[in-house]
């Protein structure tokens, strides 16, 4: 049995991992799909002080209070940032870090700088969900059927703005812990080229395993069975 902690990206909560969680639990594993403070079922806690440190603490406290060990810590998209910070603090409890269309971004990076989300101080406490229009963004939204798009439109919630503007501090890299990158929107060839060019997406993956899962940016909804299989194989 393996213990998994699953952390999703902007606007989503633990609910987004429903099918992945079910598949892993059927295989006998212990799975904790986490909603970060301020989103999904914890959206009532949204506020101006909810930042990257808060989300890092969410992960750390879940693992420590639950006395979880040999954890496979999974971060999707933005979730890779608090996962990377938490993994370094939890090093003795982590068996592997898996980044899903994400990665151990360089120290000092912000999610806003990487994604281009507007972050003006006068824009409120939250980043509103995207439009979820596959016609406008066919690459990122590839593989999502109408049921998945409906889930995203109805269950996605604003994301705490302070968390996307706070720079990442010390973080885990592939040299600290066994690390896997599940690449969805970039091919292995593209990743190799970008890593060689020093692109910050892949700056911390010098010794990481890279696995291709060709689909859009939300594989837990577009390819849940395939993603669950990849996670289980590395548990």
Task: For the chain, 235 residues long, give each residue's pLDDT as a single digit of tens.
Answer: 999 999 999 999 999 999 999 999 999 999 999 999 999 999 999 999 999 999 999 999 999 999 999 999 999 999 999 999 999 999 999 999 999 999 888 888 899 887 765 444 446 899 999 999 999 999 999 999 999 999 999 999 999 999 999 999 988 888 899 999 999 999 988 888 887 787 777 766 778 899 999 999 999 999 999 999 999 999 8
Q: Is the dihedral of CA 224, 99, 169, 64 positive or negative?
A: positive
pTM attached to this predicted model: 0.94
pLDDT of residue 116: 60
CB of 205 closer than 8 Å to CB of 195: yes
CB of 216 closer than 8 Å to CB of 137: no
* DSSP 8-class letter at 175: T
How far apart are alpha carbons 137 and 93 in whole angstroms? 38
Look up residue 34 and give its two tokens: 């986490």
CB of 54 closer than 8 Å to CB of 163: yes
Phi/psi at 95 (nearest 5 deg)?
A: -90, -35
pLDDT of residue 103: 86
pLDDT of residue 55: 98
Please report how many Cα atoms fall inside a 13 Å half-sphere around the Cα of residue 182, on the Cβ side.
30
Please report how many Cα atoms fall inside a 13 Å half-sphere around the Cα of residue 234, on the Cβ side.
25
CB of 7 closer than 8 Å to CB of 42: no
Q: In terms of Cα–Cα distance, which of 90, 88, 78, 89 is closest to 116?
A: 78
- The bridge status of strand 71-76 relative to strand 3-7 is parallel
DSSP 71-140: EEEEEEGGGHHHHHHHHHHTGGGEEEEEEES---PPTT--HHHHH-----GGG-SEEPP----TTT-TTT
Query: What's the Rg (C-alpha) of the chain?
Result: 16
């Amino acid at each position: 049995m393996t213990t998994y902690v699953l952390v999703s990206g902007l606007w989503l909560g633990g609910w987004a991992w429903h099918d992945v969680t079910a598949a892993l639990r059927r295989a006998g594993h212990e799975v904790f799909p986490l909603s970060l403070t301020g989103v999904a079922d914890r959206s009532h806690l949204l506020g101006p002080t909810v930042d990257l440190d808060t989300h890092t603490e969410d992960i750390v406290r879940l693992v420590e209070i639950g006395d979880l060990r040999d954890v496979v810590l999974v971060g999707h998209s933005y979730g890779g940032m608090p996962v990377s910070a938490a993994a370094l603090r939890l090093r003795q409890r982590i068996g592997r870090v898996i980044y899903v269309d994400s990665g151990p971004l360089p120290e000092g990076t912000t999610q806003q700088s990487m994604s281009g989300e507007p972050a003006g101080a006068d824009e409120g406490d939250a980043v509103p969900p995207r439009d979820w229009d596959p016609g406008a963004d066919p690459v990122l939204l590839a593989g999502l059927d109408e049921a998945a798009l409906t889930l995203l439109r109805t269950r996605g919630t604003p994301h705490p703005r302070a968390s996307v503007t706070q720079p990442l501090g010390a973080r885990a890299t592939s040299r600290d812990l066994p690390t896997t990158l599940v690449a969805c929107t970039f091919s292995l060839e593209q990743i190799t080229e970008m890593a060689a060019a020093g692109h910050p997406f892949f700056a911390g993956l010098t010794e990481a395993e890279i696995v291709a899962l060709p689909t859009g940016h939300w594989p837990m909804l577009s390819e849940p069975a395939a993603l669950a299989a990849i996670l289980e194989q590395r548990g």
